[in-house]
Amino acid sequence: MLQEKINSQTDHLEGLFKKYRDVPKEVIVKEDLLRVGFHLSRKTIDSCAGEMRKVYQLFSWDFTKVEKMGGKDVSVLFPDTIEIIGGIYQLRRIVVRPRINMDSPYSINLIENKLELCDRDSGSPIAELLPFRPVPGIMNKSFEDGTLYREVGPINADFIIFRQCQYWGPSEECKFCDINRNAAAKKKLGQVKTLQPKKVEHVAKWCEDVFFSEDVPIEDRPISVHLNGGSITQSLQGLPEFEFYIQFVDAIRERIGTRWPIVIQTGPWPIEQEKEAAKRVNICRLSNYEVWDKDLFKIICPGKSKSIGRDQWHKGILDQVEIFGEGAACPGFVCGVEMAQPFGFKTVEEAVKSSTEGMEFFMSRGAVVRPISWCVEALSDLPGQQPPPVDYYIQIDRNWFELWSKYKLPPVKGFPPIGPGLNLYPNSASFDMGVV
């Protein structure tokens, strides 16, 4: 039986549960955690020795700068994702990215040799963390040049094949993004050996070995291959963006066949290139439109606005639906950044209305939009911003699910199932939605 007024965070959550009775509790908890992150103590970090570690992501996904975390290694010693379950609200499994925020009202504490999600002020447990899975032994295998498998990609086959972005500087970089600064920081701290693009032969051989390895438990094996990286506006290693990515696709297909989807996340390509990519079979395309409002797109995404343009970006996404089919075009947007100040919307109502308009534009045409809850990263051009109220995120998730149901859209190819307790996507709770 729940106690009354256990602590401030449970009061906060219970108020939201009452306000949004039609939304799963898991969605509400997850969005609040994504919105404000977690505080991690040194004791908590040290308790995870030998377990799965945070791997290189395009973004830092952290609110706090490394030098304020209590050690330069804190940002990479906790896993990329954690699984939260049970607790005082009997939550179904929530998979969430642990964004580090040393000012967060939530903390992850070690209590009786178990990790718990807690109210930071009182230390009262809210829910449990499932034990971290050990790193499969194959991740310690190395290629002939000494590169370790774990340096090529994480066990979920999400490959950051280009670790920087060719939109450079404040006049081109997206305001919410810290790709280039994150890359520079990781290189300076010695957390990565090189920022050079991944080698095609490494990625392809990695896929062959991991997808077919008996040493990788079935529950840990990838369900798709995700190729990701910063934008290539000119060329990379002498190749334009399309050719750079397609060489990886062809090499991987030669190794593992067509059974597993290959998800390619880049800007939209000219229609003939999209058609050429579709010949590879079982492809999913992710071209994130970032922010819907026309004026805010110019401010928040200046490079994309100048080089491709909002209208052409949107047309490219709709072309992807026609070429790859419904469920295989999944554009994302940075959910909440449209409330960044001083240029963004001032009220939740305005922001929700604008972003819902964008979601309906795409979802009514067969593109399954993927909200990505904004992390106010310390290395971006928007550090220290006040995140939107959690009401914004809950309403976006609810509207997303209503649109997904209204237009009878399929799940996203290469992504986990949709529904509370089923979804594994860590960056938004939209895919955790379902009927209460």
Backbone angles phi, psi at 394, to 5 degrees: -65, -45
The pTM score is 0.94
Question: Is the predicted pLDDT of residue 1 greater than 50, yes or no?
Answer: no
Rounded distance between C-alpha atoms, residue 203 and residue 201, angstroms: 6
Task: Measure the CA dihedral 144/146/148/153, to 10°.
Answer: -70
Count of Cβ atoms closer than 10 Å to residue 297 Cβ? 22
- Split at pLDDT 50, 70, 90, the class of 6 is very low
- Is the pLDDT assigned to residue 302 strictly greater than 70? yes
Per-residue pLDDT of 221-234, as tens digits, reads: 899 999 999 999 99
> What DSSP line would sit under 133-198, residue for residue?
PPPPGGGG-B-TTS-BHHHH--TT-EEEEE-S-SS-STTTS-TT--HHHHHHHHHHHTS-S--SPP
* Exposure string over 265-287, b if 16+ CB within 10 A, otherwise e: bbbbbeeebbeebbeeebbbbbb
CA 208 to chain centre: 25
From CA 178, how far away is CA 186, in angstroms rounded? 12
Residue 3 has what pLDDT?
39
End-to-end CA distance of the chain: 21
Task: Please state the rounded mean pLDDT for residues 318-324.
Answer: 98
pLDDT surpassing 80 at residue 73: no
- Amino acid identity of residue 297, one-letter, is F
Decide if 334 contacts 291 (C-beta within 8 A): yes
Question: Which residue did the predictor score with more confidence, 347 or 131?
Answer: 347
Predicted local confidence at residue 50, as pLDDT: 56
Confidence class for position 186, pLDDT limits 50, 70, 90: confident
What is the Cβ-side half-sphere exposure of residue 31, based on CA atoms within 13 angstroms? 31
**Which ranges in 219-293 belong to alpha helices (H)?**
241-256, 271-278
pLDDT for position 51: 58
Phi, psi of 77 (to 5 degrees): -90, -15
Q: What pLDDT digit, counting tens, does each position of 371-417 carry?
A: 999 999 999 999 999 999 999 999 999 999 999 999 999 999 999 89
Whole-angstrom distance, CA of residue 322 vs CA of residue 314: 13
User: What is the rounded average pLDDT for all residues in the chain?
Assistant: 92
Give mean pLDDT, residues 293-307.
97
pLDDT at site 191: 80
pLDDT in tens, 137-174: 898 899 999 999 989 998 889 999 999 999 998 899 99
CA 86, CA 96: separation in Å to the nearest integer? 15
Q: How far apart are CA 100 and CA 115, in angstroms?
A: 16
Residue 52 confidence (pLDDT)? 57
The span from the CA of 280 to the CA of 396, in Å, is 34
Name the DSSP class of 432.
G
Residue 143 token pair: 């290629």
Helix (H, G, I), strand (E, B) or coil at 370: strand
Q: Compute the CA torsion angle 414, 417, 418, 422 (nearest 10 deg).
A: -140
Tokens matching residue 45: 């970090």
Q: Which residue has the higher pLDDT, 34 or 73?
A: 34
Extract the tokens encoding 331. 């554009």
d(CA 296, CA 21): 32
pLDDT tens string 261-295? 999 999 999 999 999 999 999 999 999 999 999 99
Cβ 228 vs Cβ 267: under 8 Å: no
Q: How confident is the model at residue 92 (pLDDT cuts 50, 70, 90)?
A: very high
CB 141 within 8 A of CB 155: no
Band of residue 45 on the pLDDT scale cut at 50, 70, 90: confident
